[in-house]
Amino acid sequence: MRGWITNPWGRPRFLPVIAWLYLVWSIVPVLIAVQFSFNTTRSTSVWHGFSTRWYWGDPVYSVWNNPGLRGALSQSLKLAAIDVVIATPIGVMLALGLARWRGRGSGASNFLMLFPLVTPEIVMGVSLLLLFTQLRPFTAISTGTAAQILGHVTFSISFVVVIVRGRLFSIGREYEEAAADLGASPTVALLRVLMPLLTPAIVASAAIVFAISIDDFVISQWLSNGPNTTTVPIVIYSATRGQPLPSTNAIATIMVLITLASVVAGFAVYRLFTRDERAQRPAAQGFADLGL
Partner 1 sequence: MYPRWLWPAFALPGVAWLLILFLLPFYAVVGVAFGSVDPILLTAVPAWNPLDWHLGWVIQVLSGLKPGGVYLDVFVRTVEYVLISLAGCVLIGYPVAYYIARHASRTKSLMLILLVLPFWISYLMRMLAWVNLLSPDGYVNRVLVSTHVISQPYGFLDGKSSTVIWALVYGYIPYFILPLYASLDRIDRSVIEAARDLGASPFRAFLHVTLPLSKIGLLGGAVLIVLPMFGDYYTPNIVSNAPTTSMIGNQIDLYFHGGPQPTIGAAITIILSAFLVVLMGYYMWTIHRASRELRSL
Shortest distance, CB of residue 83 to partner 1, whole angstroms? 13
Q: Of the candidates 49, 60, 67, 111, which one interacts with partner 1 according to CB under 8 A?
A: 111
The least CB distance from residue 124 to partner 1, in Å, is: 8
Count CB neighbours of 192 within 10 A: 16
DSSP structure class, residue 140: G
- Amino acid symbol at 12: P
Q: Report the C-alpha gap between 215 and 86 in whole angstroms.
A: 18
Question: Which amino acid does the sequence have at 49?
Answer: G
Verify binding: residue 270, partner 1, rule CB under 8 A.
no
Stretch that binds partner 1, among 62-70, 196-204, 251-259, 276-284 (CB under 8 A): 251-259
CA–CA distance, 113 with 107 (Å, rounded to integer): 10
Q: How far is the CB of 285 from partner 1 (least distance, A)?
A: 22
How does DSSP classify residue 39? B
Which one-letter DSSP state was computed for residue 269? H
- Phi, psi dihedral angles at 64 (to 5 degrees): -70, -40
Find the part of the chain contacting partner 1 (CB under 8 A) among 23-31, 49-57, 270-278, 281-289. 23-31
Q: Restricting to residues 154-173, which ones interact with partner 1 according to CB under 8 A? A: 154, 157, 161, 165-166, 169
Q: Which is nearer to partner 1, 67 or 241 (CB)?
A: 241
- Least Å distance, CB 202 to partner 1, is 14
Identify residues 216-235 at the interface with partner 1 (CB under 8 A). Answer: 217-218, 222, 232-233
Report the distance separating Cα 101 and Cα 96, nearest Å.
8
130 binds partner 1 (CB under 8 A): yes
